[in-house]
Every structure is written in C-alpha cells, then in structure tokens.
Structure 1
Amino acid sequence: MNQDKNELFIASRRSHLAIAQADYVSKRLSLLNKTYQFSIVTADTLGDLVQSKPLYQFEESTVWTKELEKLMADGKCSMAVHSLKDLPTKLPDGFMIGAILERLDPTDALVVKKGLNYKCLEDLPEKSIVGTSSIRRIAQLRRHFPKLLFQDIRGNITTRIKKLDDPTSLYVCLILASSGLLRLGLKDRIVKRFESSILMHAVGQGAIGVEVKSDDIVAQDLVKPLNHMQTFLSCLAERSLMSTLQGGCSVPIGVETRFNGNLLRIESIIVSLDGMQSVTSNMSMEVLKEEDAIKLGTLLANDLIKRGALEILKNIKEYGV
C-alpha cells in the first residue's frame, strides 16, 4: 500500500454497517482536520468469515477485531473503527481506545417479516421463531416469553433481514440493535424498541469506538475531538462492569446507563440461558473522570457477585458458551 504522508487509513470490517460507521468517522475527521486525507481499508474478520457457527461458540474475544488490529500493527492503518460492543474489554498490548463517539439509541428493536402485522412479541403465536445471534437477548426474552422459540441467525444486518423476509424462511421476526438499523437508514423496519424492563442492551451498544495504537500520538490527537465525554464515561463504566465479571462479548450481561447532571446511574442484569435465574442490581455515583466510571462499574459488578452472578456465569461457561 502506497501511503502519501498526508493520507491516513482507517481500518474497517466489510459489512455495510461497519463501512457506514467508518465513513462517518472519516467525514468527521475531515471536517476537523484539513492536513490529512482519510481513506478506508476493509478486511474480513474471523466473525465475518465463519458464518456456520453461533457467535457464542467462538472462544476468541477478538472475533471482530484481530484482523483490523493487524492492519494497524503492520503500519497500514492509523486507526480502526468498531461497534464498541464488539471491542473486547481488554485490548492487546500496544492498543487503546482513542475516542468513543456520541451514542445513538442503545436499545434493541423488533423487526417483523414483511407482510405480517405483529406489533410486539406478546402478539406472536406460541412457538413462533424469533431470530437473533445474541444469547443476551435470548436469555432475557425467555424470562418474559417462554413460549416463543429463539433461533440463531448469522450475517450482517441486511443479510439477516433478507433471510427474515424470504417467504420460505421460518423466522417471524428478528431482534436487532436499533442503532445499526438507524445508521443504515432502516428506521422504517423498526416495529418496536424494547424497554429496559424487558431487555437491557449490551455493553457499549449504540456507540462507535475508534481504536488507535498506544504509541501513535498523531492518531490519538486526531481522534480525541471526536470523543463524547458522557458516552465515554457511561461506556467505561459498562466495560468495567463486564471486565470485573470476566464476561466476553457473548455472555448475557444486560446494562443500562443514564446521566442526570454528573450523577451516573448504571443498572445490570445477568440471566441464565433458560431465562429461569437472574440477578439484577443498580448503583449511582457522581462520575467526573475515568477513574470514577471504572470504580462505579467495579462496585456494581461486586454487588452482582454478592447476589450470585458468578454462579450463573459459571453455569453458562460449563454449558459451552
């Protein structure tokens, strides 16, 4: 790759959503800085290449990120753009989060097969098939809708929706991140957004993270103005919670964070795969800096542990997740 001294490259997955997010970051950077031109370099990650098994069966926490980090390590890219929920809580040595952009709607959404008029999961007939690749969604929704069948579905958002709308498919609906649908201009496919009392979102969901190398001061300075502090602190608390619970991307940890002034409230739920057992807790604290956010997430995790969260997580791991 021939790199002009004034051209910087942004690493991205090849999916439509990933490219849309990388393009958004590129445009924001171009508006803020006239010295450099920004171009996107795409790569397939392990999660993209292996579509035949459910996400929870991958042992690697870097299933969506490793190949993009290699582009940076090899000097081919200066930064990588991720859906923050796909970025492991512990990054490889030499890498760091340079910025977290303002969060879009973090909720999960119901998308119904074209031609059907269902407005919510309560309307579905018994044993209707609901498609999702997330055991977090499955575990939480089984608590409230035990008569529905939840089936794995892989592929990017547009691929999943095509599978849903195929008249020969058995899927009645999908559960997808609201933010992904909004970023792809698919707001019209959102039938319902779930309240946190039914389905808490994933750690980092709805936020875009920009990863840079720890020794690349130029890249760090470039992306720093993109950082949205309340989103950054909220997501840092969520990631601290997950890290303390030793949860990977596939572990069913649901969260909700909300700022009221400088007071950050975080709530979390851990649910067994069958939906029968759950532990929940919430905590609030004044959060002004990174250390405060990390402390809040750690405190909540320890409270969940006292309430039995580790036993549920242990059973999930023994099941093979």
Structure 2
Amino acid sequence: MPLTFWASRQTQRPIWQLKERRAGTVGGGMWMAWLQPCCSAPPNAQPQSRNSIGSRPAGRGEPGRRPLLPCCFLAAQSVSAPLGPLPLRLPPRRPRPRKKRSPFKAPSLGRALISACIRTSVSPQNPASSLPIAMSDHPDRANPFSIVLGTRESQLAMWQTKHVLGLLQQHHPETDFTIKGMTTTGDQILNVALNKVGTKALFTKELEVALELGEVDLIVHSLKDVPTTLPEGMVLGATVEREDPRDVVIMAPKWVEQGILRLEDLPKGSVLGTSSVRRTAQLKRRFPGLLFHDIRGNLNTRFAKLDAPDSPYDAILLAYAGVHRLEWDHRISQILEPEQMQHAVGQGAIGIEIREGDAKIQTYLECLNHKPTQLRTFCERAFMRRLEGGCSVPLGVWTELRPKEQGSAVQVLKFVGSVCALDGSDEIVSELEVELGGEDHQHHLELAQGLGLQLADSLIEKGARVILDSIKVHNK
C-alpha cells in the first residue's frame, strides 16, 4: 500500500519539502521524515502519546491515529519484523530562510532516503513486514520512474544494449527505457595484456557499483566478461539468445589480395594478433610455426591496426558474434571449427545482471530469457567456476543441445571442455553429455550445472591441475 510522507509532526509537507536539520551531538546533517500508510489503523491499535516517535496524533484532514515509521531507519536496512516506537531524538529546529527546491534536488542523504522509501508499501496487519528498496525510482534521473540499462560505452556493448532495449520495448511498449554508458577498468587499461592485469571483473565492476547504488536497474553484459561468481546481492536475471560462439580469422589485406585466407596457408613466422590466452595457447599447439602478439582495443581499433601500412600483424583473431553484430562479416577470412579452436565460456551470449530479489525487473526480463542458451552457458560457467578459470586461464568449451532422436521430446546436452598449457605444449580434453527429459527447466539447469562440474572433475583426474598450477605460478 502506498505511503504518505510527512516532514514533521505539526505540518503535512510532501517529501520534497523536507528541511535539513543538523544535530550538534552527532556533528553532521541528518534527515528526519515520517512515513504514514494510507490506510486506517488496525482495529486493535492502542493510542500512543504525542511524544512517541512511533505515532502521530490526528491532524488536519486525518481520519484518526495512524502508525508512523522513520524513513531513515527504512533506508538503513530491510525490515522483516514490526517496528515499535524507536528511541530517536529530534534536534531542535533551527530557523532558516525558505528556499524553493526542485523535487529531486535534495542533498545526497535525503536523495538516498527518498529512493529507499518512495516506493515502499506497508501491510495494515504488519506495517513493517515488507519494505523493499526499489531503486528504479532514483531521484537523480531526468525521469525517475524509467528503467535504466547500464552498459559499457564501447560500440559493441552499445549495440548489445540497444538490441536488448529493442526487445524490451517490443514486449513492454508502455514503459520508458533508457541507456547509461560507463567506462570500466578494462576499457581504460589498453597497454597491458588482460591476463597480466591481475584482477577479475575488469569489465563489470563499475557497472555493478552503479547497479548496487540504484543508478541503473540492470546491466547488459557480454556474458564471457562476467565472472562466474557474482557479488553478493547480484544475479543473472536473463540470458539472451546466443549468437554463433565460434572464433574467426581476419586476414590482412595483403594476404587477401594473394588469396591466402586460412591459417594453414600462412608462411612460418606470420604474426597473429589476439588478447586471448585461450586462442594463443590452442593455436600454438595446432600451428607451432606462427607467432602471437597482443592486440587491444575495440573492433574498429583492431581493424585499423591490422590495415595500417606498417602493421606488424598478418591476421587477427576475433569472436564471430562481435564481428557479425557490427556488420564486418565481409572481412571474415575463416571460421574456426571446434576441432581447431574451442570457444570461451559464455562467448556469443548476452547476460543481464540485476539486483537479487528485484521482482519488478525480473518480471520485465522473462520475455528475454532464452532457455537453450541459458542451459548451455549455465553448464559452461559451472565448469569454469570449478576450475577457477578466468581470462588468464586457457579454458576452451563447446556445447550442443539437440534432440535425442528425431521428433523426441528428450534433449541431449553435449559438453566438450579443455585445458591447455600456455605454450601449447600440453592439452587435456574431455567430453560428456546428459539427457534432459520433461519440461522442468529448473531441473534441467541443475543437470546442466552437474554436467559442467563433472566434466571439470574429469579434467582434473586426467592431470589438468598440474597445468592450472603452472599457470598460476606463471601469472604471479
């Protein structure tokens, strides 16, 4: 049930007319407000004295006594039990000249309290039984009641976010959606190889901070950039249908003019540009005569480096999904099959991260979740989590979801995974599959996770732990 906001016991001012009071005993600013449920008090409610913080006597236009809650307490924590009178002492009012203030231009603490309380609802039987914080009404926004999608500012990230926004608008045309772009740590560090940066969440940390603070309502990620263990209070709300997860070769123009389009045809000593240790390790094993140099930047930057007259690269390696989404398909020279290179965990999929328990946003995302993609990536991420992998570990995966027989309702999830030494000298590969019968998607997710964990254990039994330990020593 909605709440009415009171600025004092004597006046009935809307929340945006709250005045700041400073408590000398605390040495800082302090916002006080009372939240009045727009309902009558329960029949068995006992009258309370005027001096009790937990009550307020009937005033102008009030039908009777109603329980009041201090909003500063609501902003501090989520409450699951009824609140009694709270021993809070108000500082004396200090006369101040009145100023006209925009509804959403309150000081920062006041803004936080408004955000925490403005959409709170209270049950008459248990006024404090459910106090969710709906930060989608963040007061710093031009339209505080829109849904804001957070993303990186790169061209590919923006394409993916606009794609998600378009899908949301198709299913929810009555809702206002906006995009907020940000620069992450991974976007800023361009002169160091990713495996040497020495931290996880390179492309997600700043976005997750904004999500926690309520500046955005959801984050659109390339799923391969998302750590397998999310921060506390964050979950993946949906997984959008996956693009082709394979990797591709982009040859330099000089080789294309000569008709050389495959890695097998490049002369010994040719240089391939990639920032992925997985691609480097797997191709070193298959093409020991080729050299590998790091290359960073967005797709346009990498294409420019490859096409420069003095370019050191004979070809670059990229994910097909990004090249296709930005309409660079005409530059693809070769698509690498799973036998040549297994792709990264989550590659080609778009993951949407939200706050845990945010039922409103979760409802909006139900139309976007692609169950086959979710099953495959769920399996891959469980595999990676068990092996403690990341951008510094050359893990390769390949998943397929197919019917057991033609026309059969039972599906088979096949999973191939590998761990490769950094120099390509050793590689351990294993393959497993599991049948998915019935229509219980949650049970299918559990089976997919179990398959990923089982495959990881299979690699460890074959000696993968030795490779993983050597990689950890190398990265220190």
Partner Cα distance (1:255, 1:18) in 2: 23
Q: Does 1:222 align with 2:361?
A: no
Q: 1:29, 1:230 → 2: CA distance? A: 20
Contact 1:239 1:297 survives alignment (8 Å): yes
Which ranges of 4 or more aligned residues in structure 1 deviate by more than 6 Å? none
1:282 and 2:437 are equivalent in the alignment: no
Q: Output aligned runs, 1:39-78, within 5 Å.
A: 39-78=178-217
Match of 1:126 among 268, 276, 282: 268
Which residue pairs with 1:157 in the alignment?
Answer: 299
Q: Which residue is 2:229 aligned to?
A: 90
Aligned-partner SS, 1:96: strand
Report the 3-state secondary structure (helix = DSSP H, G, I; strand = E; otherwise coil) of the residue aligned with 1:140. helix
Residue identity in the other structure for 1:29: L
When Rg is computed on C-alpha atoms for both structures, the one with the higher figure is: 2
Matched residue SS, 1:62: coil
Mapped to 1, the partners of 2:197 and 2:227 lie a distance apart of: 13
Q: Find the aligned partners of 1:159 and 1:43 in 2 and give their Cα distance.
A: 19
Residue 52 of structure 1 and its aligned partner are, at CA, apart by 1.2
2:419 is the alignment partner of 1:270: yes
Q: Which residue of 1 aligns with 2:456?
A: 301
Letter in 2 for 1:302: D
Return the alpha-carbon distance in structure 2 between the equivalents of residues 99 and 227 of structure 1: 5
State the secondary structure of the residue aligned to 2:195: helix
Distance 2:223 2:392 in 1: 14
In structure 2, C-alpha distance between the alignment counterparts of 1:60 and 1:127, rounded to whole Å: 32
The aligned amino acid for 1:107 is R
Q: 1:291 aligns with which of 440, 446, 469?
A: 446
- In 2, Cα distance between equivalents of 1:211 and 1:155: 24
Give the structure-2-normalised TM-score.
0.66
Name the structure 1 match of 2:121. none
- Counterpart CA distance in 2 for 1:249 and 1:145 is 22
Can you list the C-alpha shifts for 1:99-147, whole angstroms capped at 9, x where unaligned?
A: 1111101000000112322211111111111000000000000011111
Q: Which residue of 2 aligns with 1:108?
A: 247
> Larger deviation: 127-136 or 209-218?
209-218
Q: Which residue of 1 aligns with 2:339?
A: 197
SS of structure 1 residue aligned to 2:221:
strand
Does residue 250 of the first structure (1) align with residue 399 of the second (2)? no
Q: What is the one-letter code of the residue matched to 1:279?
A: I
Query: SS at 1:238's partner residue?
Result: helix
Which residue among 155, 166, 175 is the counterpart of 1:36?
175
Report the alpha carbon displacement of residue 3 of structure 1 after superposing the two structures with TM. Answer: 4.5
1:188-243 per-residue CA deviation (whole Å, 9 max, x = no partner) reads 11111101111000000010001111021111111121010010000000000000
Say which of 134, 153, 170 aligns to 1:14.
153
Letter in 1 for 2:446: E
1:309 is matched by which residue type in structure 2?
Answer: A
CA distance in 1, matches of 2:461, 2:285: 22
Deviations 1:58-107 (A, max 9, x none): 22211010011111111110000010000000000010001111110100
RMSD between aligned residues: 1.1
Structure 1: unaligned runs, 5 residues or longer: none
Determine the C-alpha separation between the residues in 1 that align with 2:142 and 2:175: 12
- Measured against aligned partners, the alpha-carbon deviations of 1:247-297 in whole angstroms (never above 9, x if no partner) come to 123311000000112110000111101101010000000235211111010
Q: Do the aligned residues in 1 keep the contact of 2:276 with 2:391 (CA within 8 Å)?
A: no
Q: Which amino acid aligns with 2:474?
A: Y
Query: Structure 2: where are the runs of 5+ without partners?
Result: 1-139, 404-410
Return the TM-score normalized by structure 1. Answer: 0.98
Residue 5 of structure 1 and its aligned partner are, at CA, apart by 4.4
Matched position secondary structure for 2:366: helix
Give 1 or 2: higher helix fraction: 1
Give the SS at the match of 1:116: helix
Contact 1:101 1:227 (8 Å CA) reproduced = yes
SS in 2 for 1:233: helix
Q: Which amino acid aligns with 1:88?
A: P
Counterpart position of 2:21: none
Bigger relative CO (Cα 8 Å, ≥ 6 apart): 1
Partner of 1:313: 468
CA–CA distance in structure 2, aligned partners of residues 312 and 250 of structure 1: 12
Contact 1:85 1:249 in 2 (8 A): no
